[in-house]
Amino acid sequence: MMCTRMEPRITRRVLLALCGPLAALASSCRDRGGRAGGGETGGAADLGGDETLPPEPPASPAAETGAPAMNDAGPAPRNNVTGPDAAGGTCAPTTPDVIGPFYEAGAPARTLLAAADEPGERLVVAGVVYGPDCESPLADALLDVWQADVDGNYHAAGETDYRLRATLRTDASGRYELETIMPGRYELADGPRPAHIHFQVSAPGVSLLTTQLYFEGDPFLAPNDSCGAGCNSDEPDRIVALTQAQPRRATFDITLAAASG
């Protein structure tokens, strides 16, 4: 008979009776009544099939609202995979993507990419820009950001006061935050493109990065992206999760490669 995990109020005598001929393991049974697994780091993988996981601690206010946790150290934990790789100890810069035909230089400096009256679901994107070591935040890095409107249309800068276009800089801790709307998809000859936001990021001593941000769960991510392999919409470091609470929020950390040459 298997020795099952018991509540702390069950006595050692009852445990011994239940364990039967396995009395020699009684002390082990008692230990397992107090914690999961064989040590402080033990988790669900350490538990036997007949055991029940302990109750989870109460959810934090951030978890209840769906907002990313913020603290003095910066934005929420990174949910994309650029940066040090825990398994191999490697460091990878954020992957690039095509610039597309709608980039226009000269966007004004502002964190409000979408005006307050811009139609669409509000979205806040925040993150940290890191240097080539994937650990050192880059202060005063320049981000040039542009996107389509809710219907998938881009707007000419000169005719619309740079609608849905902005530049902004990171703070002393390498952090940035911008407010916009969820971009709409648009059709190419072979079908729709997934929703995306364009980023061009630069700082002294590193390579210029041109890339695109995508959203988890979009059915038109590669291999269904009509742009084909050139748009790289299947790169996991640029596919971000969204909170459900309004405004929607996403964390997009960026790692810049060392300057070539």
Q: What is the DSSP string of 53-100?
A: PPPPPPPPHHHHHTPPP-BTTBSSPP-S--EE-TTT--EEPPPP----
Return the domain boundaries, the chain. Answer: 1-56, 61-255
Q: Smallest Cα–Cα separation from 123: which of 111, 141, 107?
A: 111
Q: What is the pLDDT of residues 141-156, one digit of tens each?
A: 999 999 999 999 999 9
Q: What is the pLDDT of residues 86-144, one digit of tens each?
A: 445 578 999 999 999 999 999 999 999 999 999 999 999 999 999 999 999 999 999 99
Q: What is the pTM of this model?
A: 0.68
What's the full length of the chain, in residues? 261
Q: Report the topology of domain 61-255.
A: Protocatechuate 3,4-Dioxygenase, subunit A (2.60.130)
